[in-house]
Amino acid sequence: MGLRQRLGRGRRAGGFAPQEITVKLSIPFVGEISGTWEPVDAEREAAWELYVELATRISVVELGEDEGLLREALSSLYTVFATTREILRRYGPAVAPRVAPGKVTFGVLAVNVLNLSIRPLLSKWHPLLTAHEATRGTSVDPVAHERRWARSAELRAEIESVRKVLLSLAQALNEVAGVGDLITVRLPDQGARSAAGTS
């Protein structure tokens, strides 16, 4: 995500938050969502709420080849979808004002990420994974059964693509909210690590 910002004093915590940032989200098979975002206070508050949601879920944590469950990753994305809709409803039109061409808003970014990135993945893969899970015998370990699925690597690759979109969105939300990075934790002499998330 490309990011340019003009700083001003934001309302959150009395600290500095950008008056303007340039956002660029690359969505696989769709293209780019880009523009200048000049957030109002309601958008800053909504950005903080959605940022916390993303920072505490496994949907932004990279799944290694032999790590995690695909079902847990899909369930986490369902929760992000539901929570984002709830945030949009709660804040209402204030987070989706009419703007000039080349400008974006919290509403534009959130709805496009839901509809162009998360929704297609869930619509395609939830029924396919459910069908595979239904073939598991009662004595078969669910983790082993999932990892033996012929399409598991394909689903992992698509989950990784969506994760990158969510990380780009989270970076923009972080900048607008004017808060510290809650996703990447840097420990002394150990480099960057992804913060552990919940499902």
Per-residue H/E/C for 41-67: HHHHHHHHHHHHHHHCEHHHCCCCCCC
Q: What is the pLDDT of residues 1-54, one digit of tens each?
A: 444 444 443 444 445 667 889 899 988 878 888 999 999 999 999 999 999 999
| Residue 16: predicted pLDDT | 63
Encoded tokens for 145: 């059964």
Dihedral of alpha carbons 18, 24, 26, 27, sign: positive
Q: What percent of the chain has pLDDT over 70?
A: 82
The rounded distance, in Å, linking the Cα atoms of 135 and 129 is 10
Mean pLDDT of the chain: 85
Q: What is the pLDDT of residue 57?
A: 83
% of the chain exceeding 90 in pLDDT: 65
Cβ atoms < 10 Å from Cβ of 142: 11
* Across 181-193, average pLDDT: 62
Q: Are 110 and 88 in contact (CB under 8 A)?
A: yes
Which one is predicted more confidently, 4 or 61?
Answer: 61
**pLDDT band for position 180 (cuts 50, 70, 90):** confident
pLDDT at residue 157 is higher than 50: yes
Residue 171's nearest CA partner among 67, 37, 63 is 37
Q: Say whether 122 sits in a helix, a strand or coil.
A: helix
Please determine, for residue 76, whether its predicted confidence score (pLDDT) is greater than 50.
Answer: yes
Tokens encoding 158? 């698509």
Judged by average pLDDT, the poorest of 56-70, 78-92, 117-131, 147-161 is 56-70
pTM reported for the whole predicted model: 0.81
